[in-house]
Amino acid sequence: MLGYQKVLAHLRRNKREHLKLLQRLVAQPSISAQNEGVRECAELLVNIMEGLGIPAQTYETEGHPVVYGEIGEGDFTVLFYGHYDVQPPEPLEAWDSPPFKPTVRKGRLYGRGTGDNKGQLLSHLLAVHSYLQVLGEIPIKIKFVFEGEEESGSPYLADFVSEHKELLQADLAYTSDGPLHESGAPAVYYGVRGMLGLEISLETASWDNHSGNKGGVIPNAAWELVKILSSMKDENGRVRVAGFYEQVREPSTKDLELIENLEYHPWQIAKNFGVKKIEMEKEDFYRRLTLEPTMSINGLTSGYQGKGTKTIIPARASAKLDCRLVADQDPEMVFAAIKHHVEKMNPDAEVVMQGYMHPSRTDPALPVSEKILKAAQTASGKKPVALPAMGGSLPDYVWTKILGVPSIIVPYANADEANHAPNENLDLECFYQGIEISARAMYELSKK
């Protein structure tokens, strides 16, 4: 414990240097969707890691490089995952300061990638560095995997993990991504929902037709698409596609116990979500958010969208959708069920898959869970909020399904980080707290 206290004191003395290093990393663009600066950022990250005393290198993939590092000895091995790529910064005019000129304002660092995910992955590295500076060693063995295309769906991470299973073997995968609970308490998640993206398109004529001269005698693509979409969910939001829920895992007693222990303030949640009200009981709300799949329309396109009126019968219509999937659902089987449903409704409709990510779950009753909860509470001074899964999606399945290790997600960014939006930011106190949580987690995981 004395050694850990010295590490903690070192962390608190070096906040200014830690901020400078984060600013250096954020200043390097790494936009995977636009292939801008990604390789340069990978090389910078390797340089930073080696400067912190952590041996590192890049591994080539069919896409952007993976940065890998390894250090330490011990009976327990933790694999820290993060991503160094960022979302496109547009619209640029909505930023109060340039997205790649990280700027401190009122205790927050503004810039693209501050919270998602450069500040969070750097927290682990700085925790290791402090152990090395103070004690000359770290109490466990640590591996780092930082990928360069999480913001583009992690298309090659699964291949990388499959090809390097022996290299990556660990006792626990640990991810810091996403925001703290809206209360400001640490959040601990034992999984993520998967994701299936698809597009439904329809063509009913070779061109748009006059709505008077042809009205009533030829089909309207927009109406035909609306019929398909309305057939896919009932008035309570339940998906009507046959087989959609077939593989959904029933929640365990521990899952429901986690939900029961949560505080629930629907008015505050509604405010945070930007909606007028949330009309659900606590269990229903959290079951829907973490344990049940969804189907959402992301966008609709058809006909005339300009000023005024254009009296046409649209010839084409399309809709983009995503489904958030839960434990045991197979994205390809869900896609097949949706495709079959759409073709029954309208054989002329085309359904195209646009990508998917498997869901992932870890048993919250594992002994390692208590160590992570203790680390988060000790370092933050607040009781963590523990949930069966995140509502969003991460490539967590590569650890639980391919590598075969448990995985826990502990976000470090502030709840209002504005990730993916203009003026993305990281509260510096959250950044420093994240470093301390990582350091404490290493200490707790080293204990028998």
- How far is C-alpha 272 from the chain's CA centre? 18
In this predicted structure, which of 177-186, 237-246, 332-341 has the lowest mean pLDDT? 177-186
Average pLDDT of the segment spanning 146-173: 97
The architecture that CATH gives domain 2-192+359-446 is 3-Layer(aba) Sandwich (3.40)
For 130-146, the pLDDT digits (tens) are: 999 999 999 999 999 99
State the Cα–Cα distance between residues 414 and 424, nearest whole angstrom: 11
pLDDT averaged over every residue in the chain: 96
Contact 79, 166 (CB under 8 A): no
State the Cα–Cα distance between residues 31 and 24, nearest whole angstrom: 16
pLDDT at 274 over 90: no
- Structure confidence at residue 273 (pLDDT): 81
CATH of 200-248+292-357, one of 3.30.950.10, 3.30.70.360, 3.20.20.140, 2.40.170.20: 3.30.70.360
Contact 67, 78 (CB under 8 A): no
**Which residues on adjacent β-strands are paired with residue 279?**
none
pLDDT at 111 over 90: yes
- Structure confidence at residue 392 (pLDDT): 86
- Structure confidence at residue 269 (pLDDT): 86
For the chain, the domains span 2-192+359-446, 200-248+292-357
Torsion (CA) 177, 182, 188, 194 in degrees, nearest 10 = -60
pTM for the structure as a whole = 0.91
Residue 260 CB: number of other CB atoms within 10 A?
10
Average pLDDT of the segment spanning 320-334: 97
Contact 79, 170 (CB under 8 A): yes
For 90-110, the pLDDT digits (tens) are: 999 999 999 999 999 999 999
Phi first, then psi: what are they for 444, rounded to 5°?
A: -65, -40
Alpha helices in 77-139 (DSSP H): 119-135
- Report CA torsion sign: 216, 217, 221, 227: positive
Average pLDDT of the segment spanning 156-177: 98
Pairing of strands 194-203, 294-302: unpaired
